[in-house]
A and B are shown apart, each in its own frame.
Chain A
Amino acid sequence: MKKLIAGAAIALMGLAGAAMSEEYPERPIMMMVSYGAGGATDFQARIVTMTAGNEDALGMPIAIINKPGAGGRVGWNWFATQADADGYTLAAYNVPHFIAQSIKGGVQYSAESFEPIANWGADPAVFVVGADSPFNSMADVVAYAQGNPGKLTFSGAGLFVGHHIAALQIEKAAGVKMAYIPTKGGGAAAMKAVIAGEVMGGINNLSDAYRAQEAGNVRILGVADLQRSDFLPDVPTMQEQGLEVDNSSVNFRGVMVPKGTPQEVIDKLAATVPAMFANDRVSKKMAAGGSPMHIMTRDEVKEMWAAREQTLKELLAGL
């Protein structure tokens, strides 16, 4: 009987929240990924959390749960409205996706619904063309678009995702009208359209485009980021080619918790998680998979979110 009471007492303490910060985390943690298993976000989330169980990290493993659907909206809706704010439920965020979606409306979250913990990766959008395309630089693309307004077809993964933002920024910077073709089925379908010659060009993730270029299927004409990528030192950025495109479309991936999570838990996570991402084994696996890493602390991410919300509001206002 005594054991039972003691057990109940411990269970109650666990529920109380305040008492648990001392030894948080005391059980495995769950992390929700709002894209399907096998996608880039899921794949990277599994790698960066694989050392969570180490003593110098959280000391408890992180299990990945996938809640895919509607470009991430299903998972983030669930996270904003139903997830327990106890520190045992984390989620992966994709910026600019969720911020752009919250600006366009129809979802139950905004940047204020979540508390960022740390950022692990930054996958810039790049402009790709088929291996036998006549375009050799962004200037060629812009020149064609100027001569044939609305006729240059280029693919990307859906609406209000990084690819779409990059497309809007390129059109705005060059002052041209092109035909953006959103595909269903993510970046893979958009890439297939480029390789098969269904479209004249496309926006895609740097990591996927890098692989496709290695395989000799596409050429990468420009990177929509502020500096060149380590994976592609020879490919110039959009700005180098005279197009005023900043890093608003870069797909930042990181970890967040729901608003209302105890401050001690947030502090503990914010202190440990960036170091966990910096682990040697993690960075080796990420580099092997062609996934660019970009570790940012909680304060840096907060700033990035705020800046992104500002630019996206302006960019999407006309749509």
Chain B
Amino acid sequence: MDFIFYFGEVFSPLSFLLLLGGTIGGLILGATPGLSPTMAVALLIPFTFHLEAVQGLILLGAAYTSTVAGGAVSAILLKIPGAPANIATTLDGHKMAKQGQGAKALQLSFLASAVGGIFGVLLLIFLTPLLAQWALAFGPSHLFWLAILGVTVIGSLDSASVVKGLLSGCIGLWLATIGFDDIMGAQRFIFHPSLGGGINIIAALIGLFAIPQVLTMFAKGRRADGAEVIEVQKHSVLDATRELLRRPRALGIGTITGSIIGLIPGVGGQIAGLVAYDQTKKFSSEKEKFGHGHSEGVIAAESANNAMVGPSLVPLLTLSIPGSPTAAVLLGGLLIHGIFPGSDLFDNHPDVAWTFINSMLVGQVLMCLFGLYVAGLAARVAQVPQSVMAAIVLALSVFGAYSVQSSMGDVYVMACLGIGMYFLERFGFSAAPLVLGLILGPIAESNFIQGGMIADATVGKSAYFLTGGLNIFLIAVVVASIAYSAWMELRSRRYTTKEEAQA
């Protein structure tokens, strides 16, 4: 209960001002395509040089919390996920926006984010020692199976046909192999120096999601001159809250999946939203509505990606191991003040540790309030003529891709992938499974090779990958996931044939 004692610190004038500034700034940065939470936190690090350790961390914590949620704004209104965490939000969120329910989608996403986020931070407060053990339990073999579990989702994600979903997943897996391979030291598919570092995931996200949008807008822009892109119906916050409470299953699955997956170092943040989305879809009674602007999809994805924030800091705060790129940046923020995460942090600097954690708790609430305000403004943003909108999105895309690592190469990669995706979309392929392949490929590959090297030196590959409780559990989940998809596919096929027969 230590944390309650330190709540006063969060509300001291300067701290609260920083919290407020971090939250609002974070929302704006998060809503800008290309500025991922990691980037936003890194941008703020120099400011913390001049602050006390506690205040610096409050700023960073608030920014981390709200950039993750802010990414939903561009995901819903523009169909550009600000970070991998927001991919799942685009699937239903943007469809809702297109149907004029943009305000509702945004309200739901911020409310769900707050619920998930607060749950995640509470986990961090009460269960940290336990969670640290869990985070360490995942070795190479388990991460490999986890990535395979993600691959089983690919076929059914946002595609009309399983085959097309799998094909675009394969394209993603291939793209993921480009670049220098850190483990074997090989160079693969590098035909241009820009590709030496592989395909940057943020640049790819922008290209795959935003550029086809822009091209489509330009393609029909002239005909509907001055037309509104999206109509936004007013929607009251009270209704949104009621809607959220009517969907406890999506909220629950999202929050819990996000918390569990967020814990796992190196994997969590990127796939939490997608896995939660898929699980919610499987357990939902209205499966067929997913992907057509269903509120459950937005709730599950956004509660999951904010629930991940708290647990993702567990390995950093307890073991001093940054589990995600953002955590690595936060580590820098701590070290600069001479504070070592780990037992030192909680024993010798409890004021810093608990004020930081508390500020994330308060930050979630502030983020939700400002987010709801932004949702009200969304109507105006969306009433921009299509041709103007296309130009704005294009400019943001180029800026976003460039700013990731100040590299023109990433802009070319973004443009090429985007143009390719435009044509693929014409043939019924979609971007989400492709991106999932791009994210999961390296995780599966590097953990398989690394696990294989360890296995060869010790017990042998089959024993290493196929025995042990956690391995068997994960394999069982993979098998169940494939079986379920196959069963659903067969059932729907029988259904359609019957309908056709009747017709």
B363 interface residue (CB < 8 Å to A) = no
Chain A residues near B183: list those with CB within 8 A. 158-159, 182-184
A36 to B197, CA, bound (A): 12
A91 to B456, CA, bound (A): 40
A153 to B452, CA, bound (A): 12
Q: Are B456 and A179 in contact (CB under 8 A)?
A: yes
Contact residues, A257-277 vs B (CB, 8 A): none
Chain B residues near A69: list those with CB within 8 A. 179-180, 196-198, 200, 405
Q: Are B139 and A198 in contact (CB under 8 A)?
A: yes
Total contacting residues, chain B, CB less than 8 A: 56
Contact flags B41-52 to A (C-beta < 8 A → 1, else 0): 010011001000
Q: Are B335 and A289 in contact (CB under 8 A)?
A: yes
Q: Which residue of A lies closest to B49 (CB)?
A: A50
A134 interface residue (CB < 8 Å to B) = no
B329 interface residue (CB < 8 Å to A) = yes
Stretch at the interface among B152-160, B163-171, B232-240, B319-327: B319-327
Which residue of the partner chain, among B198, B315, B328, contacts A192 with CB atoms under 8 Å? Answer: B315
Q: Are B406 and A67 in contact (CB under 8 A)?
A: yes
Q: Are B139 and A196 in contact (CB under 8 A)?
A: yes
Contact residues, B2-50 vs A (CB, 8 A): 38-39, 42, 45-46, 49
Contact residues, B314-357 vs A (CB, 8 A): 315, 319-322, 325, 328-332, 335-338, 340-344
Chain B residues near A211: list those with CB within 8 A. 320, 340-342
A66 to B329, CA, bound (A): 13
Q: Are B185 and A184 in contact (CB under 8 A)?
A: no
Q: Are A37 and B406 in contact (CB under 8 A)?
A: no
B442 interface residue (CB < 8 Å to A) = yes
Q: Are A43 and B332 in contact (CB under 8 A)?
A: yes
Q: Which residue of A lies closest to B183 (CB)?
A: A182
B453 interface residue (CB < 8 Å to A) = yes
Q: Are B49 and A70 in contact (CB under 8 A)?
A: no
- Expressed in whole angstroms, the minimum distance between the Cβ of A190 and any Cβ of chain B is 10
Q: Are A183 and B405 in contact (CB under 8 A)?
A: no
Chain B residues near A290: list those with CB within 8 A. 335, 340
A108 interface residue (CB < 8 Å to B) = yes
- Expressed in whole angstroms, the minimum distance between the Cβ of A109 and any Cβ of chain B is 11
Chain A residues near B45: list those with CB within 8 A. 37-38, 46
Q: Which residue of A lies closest to B455 (CB)?
A: A153
Chain B residues near A71: list those with CB within 8 A. 180, 182
B99 interface residue (CB < 8 Å to A) = no
B428 interface residue (CB < 8 Å to A) = no
Which residue of the partner chain, among B179, B197, B335, contacts A288 with CB atoms under 8 Å? Answer: B335
A20 interface residue (CB < 8 Å to B) = no
A138 to B320, CA, bound (A): 25
B475 interface residue (CB < 8 Å to A) = no
Known: A215-B319, A289-B338. A182 touches B182 (CB 8 A): yes
Q: Are A192 and B136 in contact (CB under 8 A)?
A: yes
- Expressed in whole angstroms, the minimum distance between the Cβ of A37 and any Cβ of chain B is 3
Q: Are A37 and B42 in contact (CB under 8 A)?
A: yes
Chain B residues near A191: list those with CB within 8 A. 321
Contact flags B124-146 to A (C-beta < 8 A → 1, else 0): 00000000000011111000000
Chain B residues near A195: list those with CB within 8 A. 136, 319, 321
Contact residues, B285-326 vs A (CB, 8 A): 315, 319-322, 325
A150 interface residue (CB < 8 Å to B) = yes
A84 interface residue (CB < 8 Å to B) = no
Chain B residues near A199: list those with CB within 8 A. 454
- Best-surrounded residue of B180, B187, B325, B442 (most CB of chain A within 10 A): B180
- Expressed in whole angstroms, the minimum distance between the Cβ of B442 and any Cβ of chain A is 7
A153 to B42, CA, bound (A): 34
Which residue of the partner chain, among A38, A196, A216, A285, contacts B331 with CB atoms under 8 Å? Answer: A38
Contact residues, B188-205 vs A (CB, 8 A): 193, 196-198, 200
Known: A70-B179, A73-B197, A289-B338. A215 touches B344 (CB 8 A): yes
Q: Are B458 and A189 in contact (CB under 8 A)?
A: no
Known: A73-B180, A106-B187, A214-B342. A192 touches B46 (CB 8 A): no
Which residue of the partner chain, among B200, B344, B457, contacts A214 with CB atoms under 8 Å? Answer: B344
A172 interface residue (CB < 8 Å to B) = no
A104 interface residue (CB < 8 Å to B) = yes
Q: Are A188 and B49 in contact (CB under 8 A)?
A: no
B70 interface residue (CB < 8 Å to A) = no
A42 interface residue (CB < 8 Å to B) = yes
A196 to B446, CA, bound (A): 18
Q: Are A70 and B198 in contact (CB under 8 A)?
A: yes
B258 interface residue (CB < 8 Å to A) = no
Known: A36-B325, A69-B196, A288-B335. A215 touches B320 (CB 8 A): yes
A72 to B187, CA, bound (A): 14
A36 to B336, CA, bound (A): 16
Known: A37-B329, A159-B182. A217 touches B320 (CB 8 A): yes
A78 to B405, CA, bound (A): 12
A233 interface residue (CB < 8 Å to B) = no
Chain B residues near A188: list those with CB within 8 A. 321-322, 328
B467 interface residue (CB < 8 Å to A) = no
Contact residues, B226-278 vs A (CB, 8 A): 265-266
Q: Are B197 and A74 in contact (CB under 8 A)?
A: yes
A297 interface residue (CB < 8 Å to B) = no
Q: Which residue of A lies closest to B456 (CB)?
A: A179
A185 interface residue (CB < 8 Å to B) = yes
Known: A74-B196, A184-B442, A215-B343. A285 touches B336 (CB 8 A): yes
A65 interface residue (CB < 8 Å to B) = yes
A176 interface residue (CB < 8 Å to B) = no
A274 to B187, CA, bound (A): 37
Chain A residues near B406: list those with CB within 8 A. 65-67
A175 interface residue (CB < 8 Å to B) = no
Chain A residues near B184: list those with CB within 8 A. 159
Q: Are B266 and A185 in contact (CB under 8 A)?
A: yes
Chain B residues near A183: list those with CB within 8 A. 182-183, 446, 450
A212 interface residue (CB < 8 Å to B) = yes
Chain A residues near B337: list those with CB within 8 A. 288
A163 to B442, CA, bound (A): 22
A81 interface residue (CB < 8 Å to B) = yes
Known: A37-B329, A198-B140. A179 touches B42 (CB 8 A): no
Contact residues, A39-71 vs B (CB, 8 A): 39, 42-43, 46-47, 50, 65-71
Known: A70-B197, A73-B180, A153-B458. A216 touches B407 (CB 8 A): no
| 15 new A-B contacts at CB < 8 Å, known A71-B180, A211-B341 | A36-B325, A38-B45, A38-B332, A43-B336, A70-B197, A106-B180, A108-B193, A151-B457, A153-B453, A181-B453, A184-B442, A185-B266, A192-B136, A212-B320, A290-B340
- 24 A–B contacts, CB within 8 A, in A order: A38-B38, A65-B406, A69-B405, A70-B196, A71-B180, A71-B182, A74-B405, A78-B193, A153-B458, A181-B453, A181-B454, A182-B182, A183-B183, A188-B328, A195-B321, A196-B138, A198-B140, A211-B320, A212-B342, A285-B338, A287-B338, A288-B336, A288-B337, A290-B335
Please give me the 7 A-B residue pairs with the lowest Cβ-Cβ distance, nearest first: A69-B197, A288-B338, A215-B342, A38-B329, A37-B42, A179-B457, A70-B180
